Amino acid sequence: MKLLEQILSELGADTLKCFSIVPGFGGYFRSIKGVAEYTPEKIILALKKNKITIEGSSLALGKYFEEDVLITGSISGVKID
């Protein structure tokens, strides 16, 4: 568990649970510093040090509050850069 915490910390995540995906609905992402890119097929979220790329279809930003963001739509992939 400490290794996972260290990896997430180095990626800029503040918490062990940095995101959750719900198939057919979307996802909930934490510790987000901003939105770097936004299209219905791709959203790039900025962390402290890295970025999270979310790909899919019909993607839309839901609520964005206190570094947490809800993304709705069909998510086909998530990549941490």
Domain ranges across the chain: 2-80
Residue 71, H or E segment: strand 68-80
pLDDT at 26: 93
Note the pLDDT tens digit of each residue in 9-62: 676 655 445 788 888 899 999 889 999 999 999 999 998 888 999 999 999 999
Tell me: pLDDT of 1 over 60: no
State the pLDDT at residue 47.
87
Rounded to an integer, what distance in angstroms lies between the CA atom of residue 77 and that of residue 52?
10
- In the prediction, which pLDDT does 16 show? 46
- Distance (Å, whole) CA 54 – CA 39: 10
Rounded to an integer, what distance in angstroms lies between the CA atom of residue 72 and that of residue 81?
Answer: 21
Q: Which tokens go with 68?
A: 């947490």
**What does CATH list as the number for 2-80?**
2.60.40.2000
Q: Is the model's pTM score more than 0.85?
A: no
